[in-house]
Amino acid sequence: MKYLIMLQGTQADYEGMRGKASETSPAWTEEELQAMYAFMGGVNDDLAESGEWVDGQGLSEPAQARWVTTDNDGNPVITDGPYGETEEVLAGYWVVDCASLERATEIAARITKCPGPQGLTEYPIVIRPVLDGAGDI
C-alpha cells in the first residue's frame, strides 16, 4: 500500500535554515544544514534500495506559495505568499509503497531523528494512506 509521509515547517524554519534566527526558530549553521541534507539523502537512498521509494521532495518556503480560491461569483482569486495567518505548512514529503502502516510508521520515526540545531521545533510527521481508486473512500 502507498502512504504519504509529510514533514511540516514554518516560514521561520526556512529563514532559520538561511542563518536568520527568530523567536520560533534557531539559526542553522552550514554544518547543521549539511548534516540534515546528508540524513535525508540517507533516508531516500535506503527507501530506494528497499524498493519502497515512490517519490519524495522538499518544498520551497511558504513565501513562494500561491493560493488559488474562488470568490462568490466563482471567479479565481489568486494570492501570493507569504501568509501571516499560516503557521505550519507542508515542508516536504515522501510517497512510499510499503507492506503496512507499521512500516510507514517506522520510516516516519526515523525521519524524526533528523539532526538540526538546538531549540528546533519538532513537528509531528503525518502519515496518510494514499487511496488507490474511487471506491476507497
29 in a structural domain: yes
Residue 85: per-residue pLDDT: 59
Q: Look at residue 14 and tell me whether its pLDDT is greater than 80.
A: yes
Residue 2: per-residue pLDDT: 97
Residue 81: per-residue pLDDT: 72
Q: Look at residue 136 and tell me whether its pLDDT is greater than 70.
A: no
Average pLDDT of the segment spanning 4-15: 94
How large a percentage of the chain has pLDDT more than 90? 82
Residue 135: per-residue pLDDT: 63
Q: Look at residue 82 and tell me whether its pLDDT is greater than 70.
A: no
6 in a structural domain: yes
Average pLDDT of the segment spanning 62-79: 92
H/E segment holding residue 86: none
137 in a structural domain: no
Distance of CA 129 to the CA centre of its chain: 16
Q: What is the CATH number of the domain that holds 120?
A: 3.30.70.1060
Number of domains forming the structure of the chain: 1
SS3 59: coil
Q: Helices marked H in the chain — which ranges?
A: 11-17, 30-50, 101-111
Average pLDDT of the segment spanning 118-124: 93
- Domain residue limits at 94: 2-132
Average pLDDT of the residues of the chain: 93
81 in a structural domain: yes
Residue 118: per-residue pLDDT: 95
Instruction: State pLDDT tens for residues 29-70.
Output: 999 999 999 999 999 999 999 999 999 999 999 889 888 999
79 in a structural domain: yes
58 in a structural domain: yes
Prediction pTM value: 0.89
Which residue, 24, 29, 1, is CA-closest to 13?
Answer: 24
Residue 88: per-residue pLDDT: 83
49 in a structural domain: yes
